[in-house]
């Protein structure tokens, strides 16, 4: 049986384009987004699998790793 093909890409994210399971690196440590919470002013609070949070304000732009083709 063949394994499903997984494609990993680096994408630029904003509060409007961030997705669950995107991975961002902060201080050399990778954090996978496990929950997204809408905040006033087009901001979003990202919750990571570790329980930590990060707030993206409306004008925040970050690089993230996104995996496609997961099954």
- What is the per-residue pLDDT across 26-60, written as a single tens digit (0 to 9) for each? 999 999 999 999 999 999 999 999 999 999 999 99
pLDDT score at 43: 97
Write down the pTM of the prediction. 0.84
Mean pLDDT of the chain: 92
In order of their start, the domains of the chain are 8-68 (2.30.30.30)
Distance CA 12, CA 18 (A): 9
Distance CA 38, CA 70 (A): 25
């Amino acid at each position: 049986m063949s394994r499903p093909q997984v494609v990993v890409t680096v994408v630029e994210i904003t509060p409007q384009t961030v997705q669950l399971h995107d991975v961002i690196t902060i201080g050399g440590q990778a954090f996978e987004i496990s929950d997204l919470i809408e905040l006033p002013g087009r901001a979003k609070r990202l919750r990571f699998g570790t329980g930590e949070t990060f707030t993206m304000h409306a004008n925040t732009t970050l690089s993230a790793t996104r995996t496609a083709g997961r099954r």
